Amino acid sequence: MKKILIVDDDHILRSVLKHTLERQGYQVTTVASGTQALKSFTDNPPDLIVSDVSMPEMDGFEFCRILRSQPSGQLIPFIFLSARSDVEDRIQGHSIGADDYLTKPFEVKELIAKIESAIERTRRIHAEIVHLMSQFAGHPPSNIPGKVYRENSESIISDQRNQTSSQLSPEPLPLTPAEERVFWEVIQGFTNKQISDRLFISPRTVQTHLSSILNKLNLENRTQLVRFAFEKGYEQVK
């Protein structure tokens, strides 16, 4: 059962979301501030976080910054759910590490869809990372149980980073700044539509940049691009 942490100072909204998400099969913990959320994260790490922005003690932006500064919090899917709907707020939310930003009032179905999408994307990324790391270690992926794919990929990433920490940084990418932004989004597993929403460009522009990236790196598709990024160590300098 996937665990979700809800962070919001509105106790009615917390209760509604807890009830709704538990009916969807999730295990839900609720807290009222970023300070409480950090403690809850340490005591009982969730699989995904949904957080308000404006809260007492510590707001959602500061909570997200602190979370992303910790190795254990870098890969947790994070969705902002906020009444602050200005473009500047949404951009700030994404820039400090949020995976998505949904404004209030909102449709519960949309939030559930975003949660399911984020969890599935994380599963795919972890599985691909474990697959790549197992190749580096000389262990066939077929020997790794599915549970290890889901639960131990962060440890494998950490081990790999420790092994390569003394190596030289990878060469700069032969890409334009706009192409580099798309490159980092693609290797995180985002679709063209999601990249479009996150970078505030059209899906067609995303595809144009992606085609140029693949051409410059002499690659054929997204899978090869992800493999290229991890083999060359680019994910470590993100």
Question: What is the structure's pLDDT at 135?
Answer: 63
Model confidence, pTM: 0.59
Per the structure, how many domains does the chain have?
Answer: 2
The CATH number of the domain holding residue 71 is 3.40.50.2300
The CATH number of the domain holding residue 205 is 1.10.10.10
Question: What is the structure's pLDDT at 184?
Answer: 86
Question: What is the structure's pLDDT at 216?
Answer: 92
Does residue 161 sit within a domain? no
Question: What is the structure's pLDDT at 164?
Answer: 43
Beta strands (DSSP E) in the chain are 3-7, 27-31, 48-51, 78-82, 100-103
Question: What is the structure's pLDDT at 20?
Answer: 93
Question: What is the structure's pLDDT at 59?
Answer: 92
Beta strands (DSSP E) in 187-231 are none
The reply to whether 27 and 107 lie within a common domain is yes
The reply to whether 102 and 11 lie within a common domain is yes
**Which domain does 221 fall in, by range?**
169-238
Q: Which residues contact 121 (CB under 8 A, 6 or more apart)?
A: 77, 188, 189, 190
Question: What is the structure's pLDDT at 226?
Answer: 82
The reply to whether 109 and 183 lie within a common domain is no
**Do 32 and 60 meet the contact criterion of CB atoms below 8 Å apart?**
no
Does residue 35 sit within a domain? yes
Can you list the residues of the chain whose pLDDT is less than 50?
140, 143-144, 146-151, 156-157, 160-168, 236-238
The reply to whether 22 and 97 lie within a common domain is yes
